Structure 1
Amino acid sequence: MPRGQGKTIAQNKKANHDYFIEETFEAGLVLQGTEIKAIRAGRVNLKESFARINKGEVFIHNMHISHYEQGNIYNHEPTRSRKLLLHRKQINQLIGATQQKGYALVPLKLYIKNGVAKLLIGLGRGKKKYDKREDLKQKQVKREIDRAIKDSFK
């Protein structure tokens, strides 16, 4: 199965708008009891989340996993920091890359693969405002071309 494939639970659509994604990594998540149940129910938001390296370990912050309805007193904190599981070689590569100015670790997609929750994180370089405008112009032109092609076949 190619990287990033599985049952997609949540996607960060703003990531490609705000960053040039240069490389992606698939990471496992360290979760508490009711978190995986809430993830399977699709109650996750990646919009404001980001990843950081702390003492040789990668953590994701601000990823919102809502409370599980049947979890009662055993429920988790929705926006707690969660550890990401990566190989040491990948973590060292990320440490070197994020020390360069303008690079960040951006969560792209959360999905379930072989019964396990996985997070696709990207090594992204921030876009400037003019880059974002250029992308929007290209998207608009592509949409118009596709529309014209579709209309010509009617």
Structure 2
Amino acid sequence: MPDEPRWLTDREREAWLALAKLMFNLPSALDAQLLRENDLTLFDYFVLSVLSMTPGRTLRLSELAGHVSSSLSRLSNVVKRLERRGLLRREPDADNPRYTTAVLTDAGWDLVVAAAPGHVTAVRRYVIDGLTDHQIDVLRAVACHVTRNLSGGDPSSATPGTS
């Protein structure tokens, strides 16, 4: 007979349900703002944003996938769509042509720069504003803990700020 599951306490269940509701509602709200103002999804914005903060605005697709927590196949579809819009281009990696890089174009740079103020305003509105510094630290610690668990890491081996 399998072991009885460790059922959630009332407090744990309330925390889980609050987190689940946030996981479903926050991406939709951020997507809506970016689509309305910039014709970008949240995932599109993350791809362009990561490239905008990378030296040379260039990354191997495999590295970019890691930065945006995506499979290569999902990223490839998004990259194709963004490439058709002229926001990035794909090129063979200069160091190893077996790899493909994504390069942010000037149009992609201009769009991510234009989208950033509205996006950060939405992030502040929905997440940051109204929280104390301590709550922000706790939010970050919880997010890092859950992310480490999802990636198979040992949650007890790292502290916030090390992942």
TM-score bracket relative to the smaller structure: under 0.3
Point out the structure with the larger helix share: 2
Which structure exhibits the higher relative contact order, with contacts defined as CA atoms closer than 8 Å and separated by 6 or more residues? 1
Point out the structure with the larger strand share: 1
| TM-score of the pair, normalised by structure 1 | 0.24
| TM-score of the pair, normalised by structure 2 | 0.23
